[in-house]
Amino acid sequence: MSIRIQEGGHEISGALKYMLKKFEKMPIKLCVDPEEGALHIARYIALAIRQKQQDNQYLVLGLATGSSPIKVYNELVRMHREEGLSFKNVVSFNLDEYYPLKADAQQSYVRFMHEYLFDHVDIDPANVHIPDGELPIEKVEQFCADYDKKIQFFGGLDIQILGIGRTGHIGFNEPGSWLSSKTRLVKLDHVTRVDAAKDFGKEENVPYRAITMGIQTIMSAKQIFIMAWGSHKAEIVREAIEGEVSEMVPATFLQGHANVKFYLDPRCRGRANSG
Ligand code: F6R
């Protein structure tokens, strides 16, 4: 007989809970809702920032765009406004940017980061790093090599936050990306371009390429938080946390990271296993 318990407002059976645990190859945190997950991650980041402040050191943050981390940024902004959390000792490196794309384009990740975080906190603009979608093509390779070097110069990423795409991408490391990949110019998967079409009006307007941190760059982070909310991510999340490690689902590489946590809501984790 299975015991029924309440989890995140959804009732799931004890047997199902056991099944989920049995197949998980990386630690997960099943949150009541995205708000709970975002609060948890934002509090962890705030604590890390304050600890580094006490030691007079920088905190090096790897940042993601897209819908998944927006509530984390909202909470960090709130903490800055209401609790005096300062970002003066934060150095940030964003995961990716479409290529080519002007920084002032509506869809640019530069614009996104300013809208949701940088314009509302006291981070030093000189400490903000986002891949440059405006570079002439002949300068991209050097830019990417320098991006990885800069991360190392600051002592590596302390915390990296991630979302996951329907292709299983992290950053824009699409299926076929190698574990040893570094920051580079990549071709976007068709599914990723279809998903981005809503932001660009239509699919034809979505750039075919992007600059992204590599898998190796991401895996070098000391702590990784990855988030997925909603039933549309359930299938790829199941592959990421239960499947064999494979370059066809780049998020599976995270199974090999010593300090990763996957934040999910019940819509995202429940459904893939119930059928
Ligand atoms: C964004 C990024 C992507 C997104 C992923 C999920 O900087 O690197 O990997 O995290 O596509 O996007 P959302 O959160 O919009 O579902």
Q: Answer whether 0.85 is exceeded by the pTM.
A: yes
Exposure on the CB side of residue 127, measured as CA atoms within 13 A:
18
Q: Which domain holds residue 135?
A: 47-209+222-232+248-268
In a domain, 93, yes or no: yes
Stretch 203-226: mean pLDDT: 98
Is 174 assigned a catalytic role?
A: yes
Beta bridge mates, 97: 211
In a domain, 88, yes or no: yes
How far is the centre of ligand 1, averaged over its atoms, from the C-alpha of 68 (Å)?
7
In a domain, 113, yes or no: yes
**Residue 241 confidence (pLDDT):** 96
Pick from 260, 198, 195: which is nearest to 227 by CA? 260
Give the CATH number, domain containing residue 200.
3.40.50.1360
**Residue 17 confidence (pLDDT):** 65
In a domain, 8, yes or no: no
Catalytic residue among 82, 174, 203, 244: 174
Count structural domains, the chain. Answer: 1
Pairing of strands 159-162, 59-63: parallel
**7 has pLDDT over 50:** no
In a domain, 258, yes or no: yes
Residues 46-70: tens digit of each pLDDT? 999 999 999 999 999 999 999 999 9
Pick from 242, 271, 232, 211: which is nearest to 65 by CA? 211
Average pLDDT, the chain: 93
How far is the centre of ligand 1, averaged over its atoms, from the C-alpha of 110 (Å)?
14
Q: What is the CB neighbour count within 10 angstroms for residue 141?
A: 13
- Taking CB atoms and a 6 Å cutoff, what residues make up the pocket around ligand 1? 64-68, 95-96, 163-165, 169-172
